[in-house]
Amino acid sequence: MLVEKKDLAEEIVSLKLTSGDELVAKLVEETLTEVKIENPIAVAMAPTGGVALIPFMLGIAEKSTLTLKKTDVLVLTKTRRELENAFIEQTTGLQTTSSGFDPNAQPAAPTFGGGRGSRGGLVQS
């Protein structure tokens, strides 16, 4: 298992499991043999081509703490800010000021420039 930083307790982390699942969760505790996480959410590709946050398990109660065997975790690392903000919004209902991540957003279609005074080229609209 790849470990980026020793003390990530109480941080929002990303985990890649041996099953192929990618999770975002709050790290409660890490021991030599186990990883305890709270409010796990799976990261998946949306049909629109973006990223979606979906329940990891449908039958667990809110604020659940799960214990994973470390042998089932390939990577445990700090989550990037946009995904962390989206996780906080989804699990607490609190709005962050600049998540920069909308799990329901559709990717913007590229348009070509070339109007008057333009140098042309691909422009993201």
Hey, which residues does 124 pair with through a beta bridge?
110
87-107 pLDDT, tens digit per residue, is: 999 888 887 765 455 555 554
Task: Given CATH 3.50.50.60, say whether it is the number of domain 2-112.
Answer: no
Query: What are the pLDDT digits (tens) for 10-39?
Result: 999 999 999 999 999 999 999 999 999 999
Pairwise CA distance, residues 10 & 87, whole Å? 14
Contacts of 30 (CB under 8 A, 6+ apart): 8, 9, 36, 76
Domains of the chain, by residue range, sit at: 2-112
Entry pTM: 0.70
